[in-house]
């Protein structure tokens, strides 16, 4: 395996103008620190500051290289447009479903794209074939596709640390399609929760029209995997602090400072998503309602300054300072202010001590991708440090709520209920506190950030890569080979599907008539001695006959149920004894689905029933198709049928009928030496997967998706192949005649 390249907006350290390095604070930095692996690793990111701040960029780059870091320097203009602008003033609020806080500017969007390109270039410069690249977070949504276009053989992973909102919210973003396309360059896309994954898939469907399965989708013949990876906290880091010989002294000092007060701890970056004003309102409500507890408790509010200089954040800081002052003014007494606002970051040892000593921890964001503070608090709660076990109050809008089910869950907008939760937490008996905490600790100590990173990276390694896939193939050599086979007197047969293979899909199937060039081309090919042509379609006889009769092409209708030899005479059945008794039960079921899903209908074929949902609401149609597939698979277990999910259809067809069986029949009947089949969907795979003994057989997949074919092309490629073949055969005939 090659090296691992981490890419995030910030490096885990920030570099001051004098070259001094300082650890950065924040969820991503602390989680990834715990995720340290022993592998050969490089980290690409912004060292903070602006290009103009540094005297000697080269010297900073060299110094960072010694610790495996590679800087992306940003100019003042780029910091404004990329970081403070599009990333933090457009994307961040929208991803947190706070569209009303978002501001948009064309200039920011342009700079965002340019800076993403810069990150991609720096990565490409350092990357070698076989490396894993792991890109983090919303600042770099375009980097996956930019890297893929760089032409190196990389495994590209992307993890989103924020929520992914519903498609209705996401579509508010200028650049929404480009952003989604940017992400799809990854091999693996990770989210904290299933809801975010679900919302992402829904945006793909509604904005780009791309259908997906829960864990994967197919794009240009490659697989993009998606997964849920709830991030863990830096357990090793906290463990180390708490076992440090100096830790008891740190703990003792903070305990002394508390002077017997019951600490209610709050730790967050000062960000509007964290719900600090709402939390202050709940504290105030609690103090109003419980005068007896006013002098007993101490709310400690550690708010790390964040994104200073961004207007939203500056006014939030002012608001919080004002409110804290007002509450302390109203409810404080001599020697006691109920809220202690600490507007700065602390060393990890102090943080661990605060977590260990607090009786209640309030994690009440309005929206949060995961929230690591909740997990860190629980981890640091240990009998050797606390006087009584603590209680976690946790917002139901934090991703962490899905894992930490034994916390006291609150709706942070409901001030009264948060005030009640504070009181309930304070009054909770020790036995209940302990049983809740221990149950949650068991889980999160096993799921720490190291485990999280390991799981993501091993899943990334397992995504099938290009060597496992069938790439687009140049078809001219195949045309030359077949022409040579014909010249040698071999009997060559071509079996071609129609819709999606020889022409594009359209909304109304009856509109999919052949273009003017196709029938003459087929006639020309069928006329060559030694070459037989079969059109193998799911269409009914009437459609095929009206467009392709009299061309000398053998027509196979209804997925291999009937055929018309060389397009003339009577339609024949491949198997006259096909059992269709199953249709009755299945028809009722499909019709029921149509009634419940506007824009869908049932089509009846001789040996199949098809439920079409092309005109339904895309998401509703896809959801119904999936439930139908589940139900039909159960119903079909004892029936002679197969159930198949195709291009906006669910089809139930007789097992005794398939394109594969039909083509196999014709290959034997005609005594072919060489055969080529081409098709685009799963029904065509039954013929693509054939391996007739003694026949030189080639399967060609047209378009995207999984296949057993050995070659892949697109509609234009196949049409060109047919034109080339006709030309080569013509030239050959000319040479023979002259």
Piece of the chain touching ligand GDG by CB under 6 A; list 25-33, 465-473, 481-489, 507-515 = 25-33
- 247 lines the binding site for ligand GDG (CB under 6 A): no
| Nearest distance, CB of residue 455 and ligand GDG, angstroms | 14
* CA atoms of 690 and 682, how far apart (whole Å): 13
Piece of the chain touching ligand GDG by CB under 6 A; list 340-348, 404-412, 496-504, 583-591 = 340-348
| Nearest distance, CB of residue 511 and ligand GDG, angstroms | 49
Among candidate residues 131, 368, 497, 680, the one labeled active-site is 497
Dihedral sign for Cα 658, 660, 664, 667, please: positive
Determine phi and psi for 188, rounding to 5 degrees.
Answer: -140, 130
Question: Which residue carries 């939390």 as its tokens?
Answer: 279
Residues pairing with 601 in the sheet: 612
Q: Which of 71, 93, 165, 345 binds ligand GDG (CB under 6 A)?
A: 345
The conformation of residue 511, written as its DSSP 8-state character, comes to G
Q: What tokens were used for 636?
A: 């079909």
Tally Cβ neighbours within 10 Å of residue 1.
11
- 190 lines the binding site for ligand GDG (CB under 6 A): no
Q: What tokens were used for 724?
A: 């080339």
Piece of the chain touching ligand GDG by CB under 6 A; list 121-129, 368-376, 527-535, 640-648 = 368-376
Are 64 and 287 a contacting pair, CB within 8 Å?
no
Rounded to the nearest 10 degrees, how much is the dihedral formed by the CA atoms of 392, 393, 398, 403? 40
The conformation of residue 81, written as its DSSP 8-state character, comes to I
Are 81 and 64 a contacting pair, CB within 8 Å?
no
Task: Give the nearest residue (CB) to ligand GDG.
Answer: 27
* CA atoms of 467 and 310, how far apart (whole Å): 47
Piece of the chain touching ligand GDG by CB under 6 A; list 114-122, 362-370, 459-467, 716-724 = 362-370
Q: Which of 26, 540, 552, 705 binds ligand GDG (CB under 6 A)?
A: 26
Question: Which residue carries 């540094």 as its tokens?
Answer: 54
Tally Cβ neighbours within 10 Å of residue 405.
12
The DSSP secondary structure of 654-697, one letter per residue, reads: ETT--HHHHHHHHHHHHT-SEEEEEESSHHHHHHHT---TT-EE
| Nearest distance, CB of residue 304 and ligand GDG, angstroms | 4
Q: Which of 181, 278, 376, 680 binds ligand GDG (CB under 6 A)?
A: 376
* CA atoms of 708 and 107, how far apart (whole Å): 47
Residues 104-163 that bind ligand GDG (CB under 6 A): 161-162
Q: Site map for ligand GDG, 215-234, x if CB under 6 A? A: ----------------x---
Number of residues that bind ligand GDG (CB under 6 A): 24
Q: Which of 4, 31, 186, 666 binds ligand GDG (CB under 6 A)?
A: 31
In the bound state with ligand GDG, the residue whose beta carbon lies nearer, of 162 and 707, is 162
- Say how many residues make up the chain: 738
| Nearest distance, CB of residue 161 and ligand GDG, angstroms | 4
In the bound state with ligand GDG, the residue whose beta carbon lies nearer, of 42 and 370, is 370
Question: Which residue carries 């057989």 as its tokens?
Answer: 697
Question: How many CA within 13 A on the CB side of residue 339?
Answer: 27
CA distances from 12 to 54, 64, 67, 350 (A): 18, 11, 11, 20
Q: Identify which of 251, 38, 235, 28 has the alpha carbon closest to the alpha carbon of residue 136.
A: 28
- 27 lines the binding site for ligand GDG (CB under 6 A): yes
Q: Which of 4, 35, 348, 353 binds ligand GDG (CB under 6 A)?
A: 348
Q: Which of 141, 250, 372, 479 binds ligand GDG (CB under 6 A)?
A: 372
In the bound state with ligand GDG, the residue whose beta carbon lies nearer, of 373 and 609, is 373
In the bound state with ligand GDG, the residue whose beta carbon lies nearer, of 376 and 685, is 376
| Nearest distance, CB of residue 376 and ligand GDG, angstroms | 5
- 25 lines the binding site for ligand GDG (CB under 6 A): yes
| Nearest distance, CB of residue 233 and ligand GDG, angstroms | 6
Residues 453-492 that bind ligand GDG (CB under 6 A): none
Residues pairing with 676 in the sheet: 494, 698
| Nearest distance, CB of residue 271 and ligand GDG, angstroms | 6
In the bound state with ligand GDG, the residue whose beta carbon lies nearer, of 373 and 444, is 373
Are 35 and 453 a contacting pair, CB within 8 Å?
yes
Helix (H, G, I), strand (E, B) or coil at 301: strand
Q: Write out the H or E segment, with its range, that includes residue 224.
A: strand 222-228
Q: Site map for ligand GDG, 542-571, x if CB under 6 A? A: ------------------------------
In the bound state with ligand GDG, the residue whose beta carbon lies nearer, of 194 and 505, is 194
Q: Which of 369, 390, 699, 703 binds ligand GDG (CB under 6 A)?
A: 369
Tally Cβ neighbours within 10 Å of residue 446.
10
Q: Is residue 368 annotated as part of the catalytic site, yes or no?
A: no
Helix (H, G, I), strand (E, B) or coil at 219: strand
- 449 lines the binding site for ligand GDG (CB under 6 A): no
| Nearest distance, CB of residue 244 and ligand GDG, angstroms | 14
Piece of the chain touching ligand GDG by CB under 6 A; list 61-69, 343-351, 436-444, 583-591 = 343-351
Are 262 and 297 a contacting pair, CB within 8 Å?
yes
Are 700 and 677 a contacting pair, CB within 8 Å?
yes
* CA atoms of 247 and 524, how far apart (whole Å): 87
Are 361 and 372 a contacting pair, CB within 8 Å?
no
Piece of the chain touching ligand GDG by CB under 6 A; list 36-44, 283-291, 365-373, 462-470 = 365-373
The conformation of residue 307, written as its DSSP 8-state character, comes to S
Q: Site map for ligand GDG, 266-285, x if CB under 6 A? A: -x-x----------------
Q: Which of 89, 145, 358, 371 binds ligand GDG (CB under 6 A)?
A: 371
Piece of the chain touching ligand GDG by CB under 6 A; list 20-28, 216-224, 386-394, 603-611 = 20-28
In the bound state with ligand GDG, the residue whose beta carbon lies nearer, of 323 and 376, is 376
Q: Please list, in sequence order, all residues whose beta carbon lies within 8 angstroms of the beta carbon of residue 76, skipping any fewer than 6 positions away.
A: 50, 51, 52
In the bound state with ligand GDG, the residue whose beta carbon lies nearer, of 307 and 659, is 307
* CA atoms of 455 and 37, how far apart (whole Å): 12
| Nearest distance, CB of residue 591 and ligand GDG, angstroms | 46
| Nearest distance, CB of residue 91 and ligand GDG, angstroms | 12
- 378 lines the binding site for ligand GDG (CB under 6 A): no
Q: Which of 111, 115, 263, 373 binds ligand GDG (CB under 6 A)?
A: 373
Within 411-515, where are the H helices?
415-427, 430-446, 449-462, 476-487
- 302 lines the binding site for ligand GDG (CB under 6 A): yes
- 351 lines the binding site for ligand GDG (CB under 6 A): yes
| Nearest distance, CB of residue 372 and ligand GDG, angstroms | 4
The conformation of residue 226, written as its DSSP 8-state character, comes to E
Active site residues: 497
Instruction: Using CB under 6 A, list all residues that contact ligand GDG.
Output: 25-28, 30-31, 161-162, 231, 267, 269, 302, 304, 345-346, 348, 351, 368-373, 376
């Amino acid at each position: 395996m090659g090296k691992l390249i981490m890419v995030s907006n910030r490096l885990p350290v920030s570099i001051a103008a004098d070259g001094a390095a300082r650890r950065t604070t924040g969820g991503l930095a602390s989680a990834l620190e715990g995720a340290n692996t022993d592998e050969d690793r490089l980290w690409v990111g912004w060292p903070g500051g602006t290009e103009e701040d540094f005297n000697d960029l080269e010297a900073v780059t060299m110094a960072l290289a010694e610790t495996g870091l590679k800087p992306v320097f940003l100019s003042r203009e780029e910091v404004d447009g990329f970081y403070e602008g599009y990333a933090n003033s457009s994307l961040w609020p929208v991803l947190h479903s706070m569209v009303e806080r978002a501001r948009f500017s064309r200039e920011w969007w342009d700079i965002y794209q340019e800076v993403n390109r810069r990150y991609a270039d720096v990565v490409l410069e350092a990357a070698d074939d076989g490396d894993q690249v792991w890109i983090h977070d919303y600042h770099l949504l375009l980097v996956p596709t930019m890297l893929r276009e760089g032409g190196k053989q990389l495994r590209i992973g992307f993890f989103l640390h924020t929520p992914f909102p519903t498609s209705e919210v996401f579509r508010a973003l200028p650049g929404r399609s480009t952003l989604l396309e940017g992400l799809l360059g990854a091999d693996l896309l990770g989210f904290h929760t299933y809801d975010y994954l679900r919302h992402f898939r829904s945006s793909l469907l509604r904005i780009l029209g791309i259908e997906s399965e829960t864990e994967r989708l197919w794009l240009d013949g490659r697989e993009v995997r998606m997964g849920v990876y709830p991030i863990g906290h830096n357990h090793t880091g906290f463990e180390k602090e708490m076992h440090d010989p100096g830790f008891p002294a740190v703990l003792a000092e903070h305990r002394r400072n508390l002077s017997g007060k019951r600490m209610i701890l709050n730790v967050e970056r000062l960000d509007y998503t964290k719900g600090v004003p709402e939390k202050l309102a709940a504290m105030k409500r609690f103090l109003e309602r419980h005068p007896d507890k006013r002098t007993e408790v101490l709310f400690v509010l550690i708010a790390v300054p964040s994104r200073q200089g961004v207007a939203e954040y500056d006014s939030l800081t002012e608001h919080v300072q004002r409110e804290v002052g007002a509450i302390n003014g109203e409810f404080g007494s001599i020697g006691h202010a109920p809220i202690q606002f600490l507007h700065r970051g602390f060393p990890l040892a102090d943080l661990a001590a605060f977590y260990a000593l607090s009786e209640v921890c309030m994690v009440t964001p309005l929206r949060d991708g995961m929230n690591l503070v909740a997990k860190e608090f629980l981890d640091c709660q240990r009998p050797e440090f606390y006087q009584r076990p603590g209680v976690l109050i946790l917002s139901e809008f934090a991703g962490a709520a899905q894992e930490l089910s034994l916390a006291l869950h609150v709706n942070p907008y409901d001030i009264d209920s948060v005030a009640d939760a504070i009181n309930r937490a304070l009054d909770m008996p020790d036995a209940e506190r302990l049983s809740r905490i221990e149950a949650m600790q068991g889980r999160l100590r096993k799921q720490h950030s190291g485990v999280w990173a390991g799981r993501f990276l091993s899943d990334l390694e397992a995504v099938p890569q290009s060597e496992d896939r069938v790439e687009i193939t140049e078809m001219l050599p195949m045309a030359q080979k077949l022409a040579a086979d014909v010249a040698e007197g071999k009997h060559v047969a071509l079996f071609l599907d129609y819709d999606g293979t020889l022409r594009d899909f359209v909304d109304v199937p009856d509109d999919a008539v052949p273009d003017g060039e196709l029938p003459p081309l087929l006639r020309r090919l069928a006329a060559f001695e030694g070459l037989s042509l079969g059109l193998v379609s799911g269409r009914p006889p009437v459609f095929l006959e009206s467009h392709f009769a009299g061309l000398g092409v053998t027509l196979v209708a209804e997925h291999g149920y009937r055929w018309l030899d060389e397009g003339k005479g009577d339609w024949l059945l491949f198997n006259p004894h096909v059992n269709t008794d199953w249709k009755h039960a299945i028809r009722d079921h499909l019709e029921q689905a149509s009634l419940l899903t506007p824009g869908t209908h049932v089509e009846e074929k001789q040996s199949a029933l098809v439920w079409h949902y092309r005109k339904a609401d895309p998401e509703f149609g896809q959801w119904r198709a999936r439930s139908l597939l589940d139900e039909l698979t159960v119903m079909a277990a004892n029936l002679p049928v197969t159930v198949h999910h195709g291009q906006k259809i669910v089809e139930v067809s007789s097992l005794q009928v398939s394109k594969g069986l039909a083509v196999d029949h014709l290959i034997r009947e005609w005594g072919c030496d060489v055969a080529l089949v081409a098709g685009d969907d799963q029904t065509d795979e039954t013929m693509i997967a054939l391996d007739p003994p003694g026949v030189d057989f080639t399967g060609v997949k047209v378009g995207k998706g999984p296949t057993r074919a050995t070659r892949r092309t697109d509609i234009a490629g196949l049409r060109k192949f047919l034109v080339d073949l006709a030309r080569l055969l013509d030239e050959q005939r000319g040479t023979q005649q002259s």
